[in-house]
Structure formats: C-alpha cells, structure tokens
C-alpha cells in the first residue's frame, strides 16, 4: 500500500474575477473547488494512474467532511484522524489581474490526537511506501515527521520526503527512498545559488552521504535529473506545450515516480512516468488527468 500524509489538508476555493477591487463587493466570473495538500496531490495522481493509496492526516468539521468525501469519490482511501474541535481550512485563491492567496491556519491538533496518528502508522508494513510531503503546520510539533519515521524505522518501508530546509535534513537519517528537491530548495539547503549541473551533482552526492537513497532534482521547465541509488544518473526533458499552471507539478512527479517504481523497479521508467505526470500537470488546469498523462508519456 502507498500511504500519503497531509497534516493540514484544505479545500481550495478558486475565484476568477475580471478585476479585484479591495474594499468593494466583487463578483466572480467563475468559481472552482479543489481538495488541497501536497500528500493529497500525490494520492490524486496515483488514482489517475490506477493505483490505490491511503491518505492519512487530520480533518475537522464540515470542510473535513467535504475533503474526505471528495477523496472517496476519487477512489482514494481516506483514513484521517477526525479532530474534535475546529474546521479544516478553506484557502481562497483570487485570480484577477494578478493572483492573490489567503491561506488559513487550520484546526488545532492536540498531542493526544497526534498520538492517534502515530498509532495509525502501525498499519504501514514492510514493502509499503509512505509519502511525507509539505511543511509542518504551526499546530503540530516540529518533529512530527521524525516521530513518524522513528515509529516505522525498523519496518523496511519506502520513505518519500518532499520537504524543505531543516525538515528535509532531519529526515535523511532515516534513509528515505526518495527525496525531490527543486532547484530553489537545493539552494536553500546548501546556503548558496545552485544552478550548474556539476554543482547539482555535487549537492546530490552530499545528500546521498547524509542518507538519501534516490535524489530526484526537479528543474521546472528544464526537466529533472535523478541521482539514483544504483550510482547512475538519469535525465528527463520536457515536452513543449502551453503551460497552464505549475502548482503541484512536483507532487505529480513524485506520484509518477512512485507508481513507475512500484510497477517496474526500473529507475529510467520511473523517472519517465514521473516526468510525464509533472509535465501533464503543468499543461493542465489543476492536477493532470490520466488522458493527458498518457498523451505526454507518448511524447517524452
């Protein structure tokens, strides 16, 4: 089973307006609702690829109901801890002449509720994959990922971490199967501008030494490079098409890579499927659908 963790999921309410005037009543020209969160994005793309996953995390109130029902409709096994108090977030994205976002904080998560999540991870077995993606919300203790990894450490689980800065570094000791920094995240990790391929390769070697097994560096419109555990370096380009939005392209790439590896154990194919999903999301409004992924896979 593939498990994804989304500590602070949301409903993203995207409103389109011709013009947004602060301090006035504005009327939308179009509205959309998406279920948001990096772990959930991974689950959604896995579902498009025909792969089951279990989405873990915390939900609360009526927004929490909407998140769980929406995921179930997509065929994703939603196994969230229901919080006793509060309401899961609704993040507002305003798309007018410019784009603005208002993101909520999310409900408070008590230590006892976090302990319930830890118990849930006892279901994770040898050969399973767990994806820890995104930052830790203020309402959860900073060492949340470490506590989860400590709990499953001895079980030979494939750990995937898509996080930034110190949070990623602290996870490396648990020998994650995959990390996927982008160029900016790599620069933040090493405290300097990382751009040349030689420099990227140096950074990947350092991350291997610290414990990462496969380092997938995504370079947005320039593709991606996989520094694999087998010592080989694999490269992937992009196809040219109209970019509609790159939010979630990285999460899509993570999902495609995991699905590819699950099916074939072949790094070149895993990277290719990852790239197809990343590209397809960049060329889609929201996350990619399976038709788009298959089309891009044929063009890569």
Strands (DSSP E) along 156-251, which ranges? Answer: 158-162, 178-179, 214-218, 224-227, 233-236
Q: Is 94 in the site for ligand ATP (CB under 6 A)?
A: no
Length of the chain: 300
- Torsion angles phi and psi, residue 106, rounded to 5: 95, 165
Q: In terms of DSSP bridges, do strands 89-95 and 10-16 run parallel, antiparallel, or are they unpaired? A: parallel
What is the footprint of ligand ATP within residues 246-265 (CB under 6 A)? 246-251, 253
Minimal distance, residue 186 CB to Mg ion, in Å: 11
CB 83 within 8 A of CB 64: yes
- Candidates 37, 70, 106, 278: give the one binding ligand ATP (CB under 6 A): 278
Alpha carbon 58 to chain centroid distance? Answer: 16
- Residue in 128, 222, 251, 266 annotated catalytic: 251
Which residue's CB comes closest to ligand ATP?
Answer: 250
Binding mask 199-238 for Mg ion (x = CB under 5 A): ----------------------------------------
Give the C-alpha separation, 35 to 43, whole Å.
11
Shorter beta-carbon distance to ligand ATP: residue 152 or 225: 225
Residue 278 binds which of ligand ATP, Mg ion, none (CB < 5-8 A, kind-dependent): ligand ATP
Contact of 249 with 278, CB cutoff 8 Å: yes
Closest contact distance (angstroms) between CB of 168 and ligand ATP is 12
Helix or strand or coil: residue 4?
strand
* Alpha-carbon distances of 75 from 54, 123, 173, 198, rounded to whole Å: 10, 20, 34, 42
Q: Shortest distance, CB of residue 18 to Mg ion, whole angstroms?
A: 31
Least Cα distance to 249 among 268, 275, 215 occurs for: 275
Kindly state whether residue 135 participates in binding ligand ATP, applying the rule CB under 6 A: no
Residue 70 binds ligand ATP (CB under 6 A) = no
Among 282, 287, 288, 293, binds ligand ATP (CB under 6 A): 282
Query: How many residues of this chain bind Mg ion (CB under 5 A)?
Result: 1
CA distance 165 to 136: 12
The secondary element (H helix, E strand) that includes residue 34 is strand 30-36
Interacting positions 244-273 with Mg ion (CB under 5 A): 250
Q: From Mg ion, ligand ATP, none, which one binds at residue 224 (CB under 5 to 8 Å depending on kind)?
A: ligand ATP
181 binds Mg ion (CB under 5 A): no
**And the tokens for 173?**
């000791």
Select the residue interacting with ligand ATP from 95, 223, 284, 288 (CB under 6 A): 223
Which string of x and - marks every residue 175-214 that binds ligand ATP (by CB under 6 A)? Answer: -------x--------------------------------
Say how far apart CA 224 and CA 180 lie, in whole Å.
10
- Decide if 251 is catalytic: yes
> In the block, which residue shows the tokens 């784009």?
99
* Spatial contact of 285 and 95, defined as CB atoms under 8 Å apart: no
Q: Quick one: which of 61, 220, 245, 286 contacts ligand ATP (CB under 6 A)?
A: 220
Binding site for Mg ion (CB under 5 A): 250
List interacting residues with ligand ATP (CB under 6 A): 182, 218-221, 223-224, 238, 243, 246-251, 253, 275, 278-279, 282
Catalytic site residues?
A: 251
């Amino acid at each position: 089973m593939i498990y994804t963790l989304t500590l602070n999921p949301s409903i993203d309410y995207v409103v389109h307006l011709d013009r947004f005037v602060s301090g006035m009543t504005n009327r939308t020209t179009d509205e959309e609702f998406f279920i948001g969160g990096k772990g959930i994005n991974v689950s959604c793309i896995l579902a498009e690829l025909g792969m089951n996953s279990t989405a873990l995390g915390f939900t609360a109130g009526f927004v929490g109901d909407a998140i769980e029902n929406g995921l179930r409709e997509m065929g994703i096994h939603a196994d969230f801890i229901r919080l006793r108090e509060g309401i899961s977030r609704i993040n507002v994205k305003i798309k007018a002449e410019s784009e603005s976002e208002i993101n909520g904080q999310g409900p408070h998560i008590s230590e006892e509720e976090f302990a319930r999540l830890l118990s849930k991870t006892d279901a994770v077995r040898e050969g399973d994959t767990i994806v820890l993606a995104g930052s830790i919300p203020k309402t959860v203790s900073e060492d949340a990922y470490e506590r989860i990894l400590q709990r499953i450490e001895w079980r030979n689980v494939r750990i995937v971490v898509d996080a930034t800065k110190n949070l990623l570094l602290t996870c490396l000791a648990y020998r994650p199967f995959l990390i996927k920094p982008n160029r900016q995240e790599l620069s933040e990790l090493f405290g300097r501008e990382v751009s040349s391929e030689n420099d990227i390769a140096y950074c990947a070697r350092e991350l291997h030494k610290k414990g990462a097994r496969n380092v997938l560096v995504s370079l947005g419109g320039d593709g991606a490079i996989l520094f694999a555990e087998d010592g080989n370096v694999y490269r992937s380009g992009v196809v040219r098409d109209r970019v509609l939005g790159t939010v979630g392209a990285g999460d899509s790439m993570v999902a495609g890579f995991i699905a590819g590896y699950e099916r074939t154990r072949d790094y070149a194919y895993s990277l290719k499927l990852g790239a197809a999903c990343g590209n397809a999301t960049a060329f889609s409004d929201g996350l990619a659908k399976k038709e788009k992924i298959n089309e891009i896979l044929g063009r890569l």
